[in-house]
Chain A
Amino acid sequence: MKRIVVLAMAAMLAVTALTGCVTKAEGQADSTTTVADSDENVLNVYTALEDEQVADYLTEFKEQNPDVTVNVTRESTGVITSKLLAEKENPVVDVVWGLSATSLLVLAQEGMLDAYAPEGVDRILPEFKDDAEVPTWVGIDAWETAFIVNKEVLKSNGIDTVPTSYEDLLDPKYKGLIAMSNPASSGTGLLTVNGILNLYGDEEGWNYLDKLHENVAVYMHSGSQPAKATAAGEYGIGVSFGYRCIQSAEEVGSDICEAVFPKEGSGWDLEANALIKKDNQKEIAKKFLDWAISDNIMKKYATNYPIVATGVGDNIPEGYAKNPIDQLIPDMDFAKAAQNRESILETWTERYDAKSAEQE
């Protein structure tokens, strides 16, 4: 008899467990917030800043907030952006730190960001933040297209000139020697493409990219990878961004590698911060955003980038031009770039991702 009771109880338990799980459907899946915790001691950050910078920058925040566990996900701009878009209904992340303004505008269009004015936001120059009185995003610095040229590799291919402009890159002698970042995954890749489209106009711009494609050996995952691989002698020219080109060239020595800013001007974008809109927003998230534009950290950004959101610093890092703002292509329209992001990436992928494989 006892056995029957035990079994019956087990059966009942199973049934209640099952029925307990059935609830009224709330629209589509992914709508509850079980993942998002409201623990003030845990801060989830998404960033596209450079890996070695993140660790260095964060030291101060960690010192000031020893009890807080900061979980940083660092990936290329494209990956971080898609991740955020995919998690729209149920965001894990609390703040976005150092993501391209173009991407943040896409998120803002999706209604994923909350306006927040961090402490000291008045110091940030108007063109470096959202127009609204309480801005949805606040910039920290700007970064721009640059080339890294491995003179040794070029020499071994019988070339002793250094390309100095976009136009130069089309020279057939560079065929198979150029590495560029893939705009679908890399923010640098996207700003370079946007810069070229802005410079040449849409039609001419795509024509240019078609021709450039003839010379490109590989499209890489991140903005850094072309520079790193070129500095390691795998390619002759890496289309990357200023900081990485200068840093990589310095690492291997100026006799081997040289950072070059294209004559026509560089495509550029801002790295900016924003607060994610979610039910259980944390105080620590706002505190993080305050810290992320504080004086100390701004100085740190300025050691790596010549143009920070409070203006061009007095000590321009070595390797950049005296007036770095002149290097940037004027009138880059980020709102337009954000609106066209998807179609540009689609066109790009269709033209070059498929074609590059066809040549095999």
Chain B
Amino acid sequence: MEKLKQKIMRCTKEDIVRAIAIYAVVAFLLVFLVCPLCTLFVKAFQNKDGAFVGFAQFIKYFQSKSLIQSISHTFFVAIMSTIISVTLAFFFSYALSRKNVPCKGFFQYIGMIPIFAPTMLLGIALIYLFGNKGIFTALGLKVALYGKVGIIIAESIYCFPVATTILMVAFSAADNRLYEAADTMGTSTLRKMLTITIPNVKYGLISALFVAFTYSFTDFGAPSVVGGNYNVLATDVYKQVVGQQNFNMGAVVGIILLFPAVLSFVVDRITNQKQSAAINSKSVPYQIKPDKKSDALATAFCICITLVMVIFFAVALFASLIKLWPYNLTFTISNYDLTKIASGSGFTAFKNSILISLITAVLGTIVTFVGAYMIEKNQKFKTSRRIAYFLSITPLAIPGTVIGLSFIMFFNASQFNIPFMDGYALQNPFHGMYGTIWILILANMIHFYSVPFSTATTSLKRLDKEFETVSESLAVPFYRTLGKVTLPLCLPAICEMWVYFFVNSLVTVSAVVFLASPTAPIASVIIVSMEGAGQTAPAVAMCMLLLFINLFVRLVYEAIRGRSNKKK
């Protein structure tokens, strides 16, 4: 007791602020990440009435032929989409970073477009292109769209931007000395590719493969549109939970969805740790040498890729602006009349979506930044910091579907029974959030937590540790250093985090499809239900609106960044 007293006496005001901040972040992640996941695990071992049934639900699941089949379907589709998207992204980013390609910025931005729209848009555009009455079908290109083919094409496009982003970073770190040495020895281009370039980007490549796999393994939007009767796990969960309200079986599928994601997460962590050694201070940045033939080839490839993207989104835009495909191609903007759709709640949903994205972006940025700061710029609370770090990168491994499911189970329960204390239960203080926009905001914050967290950590790591040491020796409290030095220096990173939260929250479906309610409808979920009712054109129009808003936000961000770069 005496010791504790002394320990507390030694605390400064600053320490208390630090303690509150770090514990608040840990508590936030414990309550909204760990607790819901625990609820999900518990549910998977219970029956509908809440009695413990062990593995009975799992056994029932593995006895159902159709559900088992979904597993192999999902693997097949995910592996194919991963191979296609990463291969394309590999050559695309190789061309952009290692070849003389004109208008690199333009190509890169067009290649990014798919992340700004809900994945349903890709599926719907595919119907207009390759459906029975599709544009390409009419030109004689017949594809059995509904089923695996459609899903694979849509997922490949969906995963392409993420894979490209990761690979661009990997390609940017190269040591020109190796290539010089190879050139002096007269090494062939192919050999250079196999012995220098690929080993060099190995970790980026592995990371891209796993991220693409996780994305396509868990996506709901595209399969729900072009899947036809080809069932995959993500649509199974939806059918079980939304269609039949069978939460316990949903929990079982959720846990199955978690396996590959966790595996890829572990691999990603391991490769990430190794990656830092690839480049050292003596490295020389890569110099692009002009080579007419391969440069032309690279440019042609980039044009092809961007052409595909442009065609997809041009078709979607076109689809949203005509009366009735394919028989009445009169121009109309009536599909954009939000008051007419979703039983009149289209406009509310749209407003809610923007509001939710804004709040998620602001709160998410604050929480992740404070979290990253407390972990990075702090010498004390070693255990808490470690826990906080681990919890902060965990969401990367959790598919949105699982977050949505665990949230609905956690928030819907009004009380939790305490084990071994029969007759007593813990009231759930968060029950009241059920059915409000707050549950959606929290789900988005958790779902997209890891990437902005990493952005913040990276940018904090880049800052000189001296700032903290100096201010400490001058007895300036850390929060003053934070406000006067750290925050202004990290502003670009903070803006990036904000945009990431906003863009993703606006278009996400996988988590929120389980959480939106009549009292808090949102746009992306309304798109799913409109599509389900066959109202394709208004659904596309809504997708396009979300896309425009995201593009606008991104452009504003780029403009601000461009300006501040100039100032420097």
Contacts and interface: CB of A to CB of B under 8 A. Distances in A.
Given A82-B244, A228-B535, A356-B229, A32 B415 contact: yes
B341 A51 contact: yes
A7 B8 contact: yes
A30 interface: yes
Contacts of A83: 242, 245
A51 B414 contact: no
A78 B54 CA distance: 29
Contacts of B536: 228, 232
B477 to A, nearest CB: 16
A184 to B, nearest CB: 6
B340 A52 contact: yes
A72 B342 CA distance: 9
Contact of B65 (A52, A90, A252, A354): A354
A57 to B, nearest CB: 9
A24 B132 contact: no
Given A75-B529, A233-B133, A29 B416 contact: yes
Nearest to B348: A71
A25 B417 contact: yes
B141 interface: no
Contacts of B229: 218-219, 353, 356-357
A224 interface: yes
Given A22-B418, A86-B245, A253 B5 contact: no
B326 A224 contact: no
Given A75-B529, A225-B532, A233 B326 contact: yes
Interface string B1-40: 0000100110100001000000000000000000000000
A121 to B, nearest CB: 25
Interface string A82-99: 110110001011000000
B412 interface: yes
Contact of A225 (B132, B230, B533): B533
A4 interface: yes
A79 B242 contact: yes
A29 B69 contact: no
A29 B435 contact: no
Interface in B118-164: 127, 131-133, 146-148
A252 B327 contact: yes
B337 to A, nearest CB: 11
A185 interface: yes
Contacts of B146: 217-218
Interface string B373-407: 00000000000000000000000000000000000
Given A83-B245, A235-B132, A44 B518 contact: yes
B73 interface: yes
B165 interface: no
Contacts of A35: 431-432, 434-435
A358 interface: yes
Interface in A17-37: 21-26, 28-32, 34-35
A357 B73 contact: yes
Given A224-B534, A354-B69, A358-B69, A30 B324 contact: no
A220 B531 CA distance: 11
B517 interface: yes
Contacts of A55: 339-340, 343-344
A4 B10 CA distance: 11
B345 A72 contact: yes
Interface in B43-91: 49-50, 64-66, 69-70, 73
A218 B532 contact: no
A234 interface: yes
Contacts of B245: 82-83, 85-86
A327 interface: no
Nearest to B20: A10
Contacts of B294: none
Given A24-B424, A29-B415, A219-B229, A256 B327 contact: yes
Given A30-B414, A358-B69, A74 B427 contact: no
A70 to B, nearest CB: 9
Contacts of A28: 49-50
B65 to A, nearest CB: 5
A150 B530 CA distance: 22
A109 interface: no
A256 B432 CA distance: 52
B50 A29 contact: yes
B334 to A, nearest CB: 12
Contacts of A358: 65, 69
B529 A71 contact: no
B149 to A, nearest CB: 11
A116 B536 CA distance: 39
A194 interface: no
Interface string B408-436: 00001111111000011111010110110
B117 to A, nearest CB: 21
A129 interface: no
A92 B345 CA distance: 18
Contact of B11 (A3, A229, A253): A3
A222 B533 CA distance: 6
Contacts of B418: 22
Nearest to B436: A35
B247 interface: yes
A232 B133 contact: yes
Given A222-B533, A233-B133, A251 B425 contact: no
B9 A3 contact: yes
A22 B342 contact: no
Contact of A32 (B11, B133, B431): B431
A71 B436 CA distance: 13
A100 to B, nearest CB: 16
A46 B343 CA distance: 11
Interface string B283-313: 0000000000000000000000000000000
B167 to A, nearest CB: 32
Contacts of A51: 341-343, 530, 533, 535
B243 interface: yes
Contacts of A337: none
Contact of B243 (A82, A153, A226, A228): A82
A78 B244 CA distance: 8
A54 B518 contact: no
A21 B427 contact: yes
Given A71-B519, A218-B228, A222-B532, A54 B66 contact: no
Contacts of B423: 24-25
A231 B8 CA distance: 75
Nearest to B48: A86
B325 interface: yes
A184 B244 contact: yes
B538 to A, nearest CB: 9
Interface in B326-362: 326-328, 339-345
A50 B532 CA distance: 12
A28 B148 CA distance: 42
19 contacts: A22-B426, A24-B425, A29-B50, A35-B435, A51-B533, A52-B340, A71-B518, A72-B518, A74-B342, A76-B533, A79-B243, A153-B132, A221-B532, A224-B534, A225-B534, A231-B324, A232-B133, A252-B328, A357-B66
Q: Sorted from nearest, which 7 A-B pairs have the closest CB atoms?
A: A228-B534, A354-B66, A86-B245, A233-B133, A25-B425, A54-B343, A82-B245
Given A29-B414, A30-B414, A34-B414, 16 more contacts: A32-B414, A51-B530, A55-B343, A78-B244, A79-B242, A86-B245, A92-B435, A153-B132, A221-B533, A225-B532, A227-B534, A233-B132, A353-B66, A353-B229, A357-B231, A358-B69
